[in-house]
Chain A
Amino acid sequence: MTYKLNQAASGFEKFLMRGNQAVGEGAIRAGCRYFFGYPITPQNELFEYMAKRLPEVGGTFLQSESELAGINMVFGAAAGGGQCMSSSSGPGFTLMGEGLTALAAAQLPAVIVCVSRAGPGLGRIASSQADYRLATRGGGHGDYQCLVFGPGSAQELYELTFKAFDLADDYRNPVIILSDAILGQMMEPVTIDSLPEKKAPEKEWAVKGKGDNPRKVIKVAPHTDDELISWNRHLKAKYEGMKAKEQRFESLYTDGASTVVVAFGSTSRIALDALMRAREEGKPVGLFRPISLWPFPEIALKALLEQGVENLIVVEANNGQMIEDVRLSAGSDAKVIHYGVGGGHIFSPDEVYREILRFV
């Protein structure tokens, strides 16, 4: 259920919805009309939202026999020019690796959502950020790269999912939304009419039967060694373009800060509570929140160090995954500390506050 809020004063339509539902509505708003997926907790509210909403807008919802089949259905619908999406959580997202590399190889646009739970193995449904590496480093074989966004609120899940469809089409590449159990389950107000209702664009490269035109072939394999090399060079150039243009982040209170907490998604919300308390006590602490996880916002992070930030505390709900990107961006001279553990531990603002105090 979503609940409409009385917002006569603001003039905006606001709904109280779960993060998972906000993703679904963002997708519908962006023109998504095909959803293929398999039930898994904690993403089920998104799956069920699409099951309810897609028939209302003339779209197709199909429960696949596995995530492997689901992502390959996405592949087929995308090849036909459909605006499509799938979603899962860690164990199912692993199975999607094959489809993700195929989508990237064939340069097909699609939006894939991972609502992370705690692993490894089957793990449990408690929230974690343990799929950071899986999302940002691929998951499938071969040199390929997806755009990955890690929104931090229901509103941002809504807006970035919408934006993800545009970017998927612009780059002809899969885009991943990395959410987690906290964000997915948490209810927050979402302003729905902050975004226009879009129709899926006409995709001239899609297959629909050749008619009177030259035929088209959507390929996951090049035919010759020469084609293989030029194909990979093209992909590399595309990924470099994404890296240059799509770095997104939020910096809060970083001016004059000597210590900056680096956190994304749900953890950034907890970290912000903790560092506000430290700031009230006069401690010069700021927050750097990567929004694009690939490309990692390395330019902005580097700039913080040039401004005089001495410590970077990477708070993440895993054993240390995003810290690799922070270290790569910051360089070997920077002091980078990890705080976090995998396995479903949810931080309290208190413990993050105490960690901050160790450095300021």
Chain B
Amino acid sequence: MKDFKIVYQKPDAMTDIPFPYCPGCSHGIIHRLIAEVMDELDIAPKTIGITSAGCSVRNWRQFDIDMVMSMHGRGPAVATGLKRARPEAVVFTYQGDGDMAAIGTGEVIHAASRCERITVIYVNNGVFGATGGQQAPTTLIGQATTSYPHGRDPDVSGYPLKMAELLSMVAPDSYISRTSIHTVKHIMLTKKAIREAFLVQIQDQGFGLVEVLAACPTNWRLDSASCMEKIESEIIPHFPLQTFSSPKKED
């Protein structure tokens, strides 16, 4: 055995606790990317994460850092208070689309408008996962959910909210980007964006947010591979992958 060497392992910023997520769920990938970025920037000892409500409510178990649980949607407000009290800490929230784009819309818009030095990792999978697949603000037109089994009709339940676009209009000095995890290339680009969203906080440049397009195989009623195809063919056309704003302006 001693001739073997470790070439790949979990990041130091993760605990040994197995993920509680369904097969094919994107949370595990996104958790890992955040932990890799914390390792690479060597910030885990001074980072505090804030959980949301939903499937990722227990992700305080996964990150080997100080963590604070918040009530549904209030992550950016909790992060604001925490960062003001502990300006030397790196503070991030991890929020789903129900959490951040429905019940917590006000909190995130105003945190962005104040350019709070916090980082928001926003996971958009188009459904309320933990509660059983109800319509989220981001559910596509025509997509069936348990709230609207015949599909989303904008006359009845509105249009999908484009949070990255909206937030980039609130605070032009923020880093606001949308990425996806449907291919390895896009996973790497997501990591790069997460790193940037942490760096704008660490370098005191502004508010950072990455919207990650993610899959929920259980509630989409699809296998994992079909989920990735759906992101490519149906979701990205509505939610384009793009960096919408950045404090680093071209000269």
Query: Does A80 contact B82, Cβ atoms closer than 8 Å?
Result: yes
Alpha-carbon separation in the docked complex, A283 to B88 (Å): 65
Q: Which A residues lie within 8 Å of B69 (CB)? A: 106, 217-221
Q: Which B residues lie within 8 Å of A34 (CB)? A: 81, 84-85
Query: Does B89 contact A208, Cβ atoms closer than 8 Å?
Result: yes
- A209 interface neighbour in B60, B66, B109, Cβ under 8 Å: B66
18 A–B pairs (Cβ distance < 8 Å), ordered by A: A34-B84, A34-B85, A60-B85, A64-B110, A65-B109, A70-B77, A72-B74, A75-B77, A75-B81, A76-B85, A82-B84, A82-B85, A207-B86, A208-B46, A209-B86, A210-B44, A215-B66, A217-B69
Alpha-carbon separation in the docked complex, A36 to B64 (Å): 30
Query: Does B46 contact A207, Cβ atoms closer than 8 Å?
Result: no
Which residue of chain B is the closest to A106 with respect to CB atoms?
A: B69
Indicate the member of A64, A69, A84, A221 with the most B CB atoms within 10 Å: A69
Query: Is residue A176 contacting chain B, with contact meaning CB distance below 8 A?
Result: no
Query: Is residue A66 contacting chain B, with contact meaning CB distance below 8 A?
Result: yes
Query: Does A79 contact B82, Cβ atoms closer than 8 Å?
Result: yes
- B60 interface neighbour in A72, A78, A211, A217, Cβ under 8 Å: A217
What's the nearest-Cβ distance from chain B to residue A130, in Å?
A: 26
Query: Does B85 contact A209, Cβ atoms closer than 8 Å?
Result: no
Top 5 nearest A-B pairs (CB, nearest first) are A76-B81, A82-B85, A209-B46, A73-B81, A80-B85
Query: Is residue A28 contacting chain B, with contact meaning CB distance below 8 A?
Result: no
**Are A73 and B68 CB-contacts (below 8 A) given A65-B110, A221-B57?**
no
Which residue of chain A is the closest to B109 with respect to CB atoms?
A: A65
Alpha-carbon separation in the docked complex, A78 to B68 (Å): 11
**Are A207 and B48 CB-contacts (below 8 A) given A36-B81, A223-B58?**
yes
Query: Does B82 contact A76, Cβ atoms closer than 8 Å?
Result: yes
Query: Does B82 contact A72, Cβ atoms closer than 8 Å?
Result: no
- B79 interface neighbour in A66, A76, A210, A220, Cβ under 8 Å: A76
Within 8 A of B (CB), among A55-91: 60, 62, 64-66, 68-70, 72-82, 84
Alpha-carbon separation in the docked complex, A300 to B245 (Å): 64
Query: Does B71 contact A217, Cβ atoms closer than 8 Å?
Result: no
Q: Which B residues lie within 8 Å of A77 (CB)? A: 81-82, 84-85
Q: Which A residues lie within 8 Å of B78 (CB)? A: 72-73, 75-76, 79
- B86 interface neighbour in A64, A66, A208, A217, Cβ under 8 Å: A208
Alpha-carbon separation in the docked complex, A68 to B72 (Å): 12
Alpha-carbon separation in the docked complex, A103 to B107 (Å): 18
Which residue of chain A is the closest to B47 with respect to CB atoms?
A: A209
Q: Which B residues lie within 8 Å of A78 (CB)? A: 81, 85
Q: Which B residues lie within 8 Å of A65 (CB)? A: 106-107, 109-110
Query: Is residue B65 contacting chain A, with contact meaning CB distance below 8 A?
Result: yes
Query: Is residue B70 contacting chain A, with contact meaning CB distance below 8 A?
Result: yes
What's the nearest-Cβ distance from chain A to residue B188, in Å?
A: 27
Which residue of chain A is the closest to B50 with respect to CB atoms?
A: A76
Query: Does A219 contact B66, Cβ atoms closer than 8 Å?
Result: no
Alpha-carbon separation in the docked complex, A99 to B88 (Å): 25
Query: Is residue A212 contacting chain B, with contact meaning CB distance below 8 A?
Result: yes
Q: Which A residues lie within 8 Å of B44 (CB)? A: 210
State the majority secondary structure of interface residues on B.
Answer: helix
As a 0/1 sequence over residues 210 to 248 of chain A, the CB contacts with chain B under 8 angstroms (1 = contact) are 111001111111010000000000000000000000000
Query: Is residue A98 contacting chain B, with contact meaning CB distance below 8 A?
Result: yes
Indicate the member of B61, B74, B107 with the most A CB atoms within 10 Å: B74
Query: Is residue B161 contacting chain A, with contact meaning CB distance below 8 A?
Result: no
What's the nearest-Cβ distance from chain A to residue B127, in Å?
A: 22
What's the nearest-Cβ distance from chain B to residue A75, in Å?
A: 5
Query: Does A72 contact B71, Cβ atoms closer than 8 Å?
Result: yes
Which residue of chain B is the closest to A86 with respect to CB atoms?
A: B81
Which residue of chain A is the closest to B81 with respect to CB atoms?
A: A76
- A60 interface neighbour in B61, B84, B109, Cβ under 8 Å: B84
Indicate the member of B50, B58, B80, B85 with the most A CB atoms within 10 Å: B85
- B81 interface neighbour in A72, A208, A219, Cβ under 8 Å: A72
Alpha-carbon separation in the docked complex, A102 to B77 (Å): 13
Query: Is residue B144 contacting chain A, with contact meaning CB distance below 8 A?
Result: no
Within 8 A of B (CB), among A100-125: 102, 106
With A65-B109, A73-B80 already in contact, 7 other A-B pairs whose C-beta atoms are closer than 8 Å: A65-B106, A65-B110, A68-B74, A72-B77, A75-B78, A76-B77, A79-B81
Query: Does A208 contact B45, Cβ atoms closer than 8 Å?
Result: no
As a 0/1 sequence over residues 215 to 227 of chain B, the CB contacts with chain A under 8 angstroms (1 = contact) are 0000000000000
Query: Does B46 contact A218, Cβ atoms closer than 8 Å?
Result: no
Alpha-carbon separation in the docked complex, A235 to B70 (Å): 19
Alpha-carbon separation in the docked complex, A18 to B89 (Å): 38
Within 8 A of A (CB), among B80-112: 80-86, 88-90, 106-107, 109-110
Query: Does B46 contact A69, Cβ atoms closer than 8 Å?
Result: no
Query: Does A217 contact B85, Cβ atoms closer than 8 Å?
Result: no
- A207 interface neighbour in B82, B107, B110, Cβ under 8 Å: B82
What's the nearest-Cβ distance from chain A to residue B43, in Å?
A: 8
Which residue of chain B is the closest to A74 with respect to CB atoms?
A: B81
Indicate the member of A65, A70, A106 with the most B CB atoms within 10 Å: A65
Query: Is residue B67 contacting chain A, with contact meaning CB distance below 8 A?
Result: yes
Query: Does A79 contact B68, Cβ atoms closer than 8 Å?
Result: yes
Alpha-carbon separation in the docked complex, A212 to B69 (Å): 22
Query: Does B84 contact A217, Cβ atoms closer than 8 Å?
Result: no
Alpha-carbon separation in the docked complex, A234 to B141 (Å): 48
Which residue of chain A is the closest to B67 with respect to CB atoms?
A: A217
- A76 interface neighbour in B45, B57, B65, B68, Cβ under 8 Å: B68
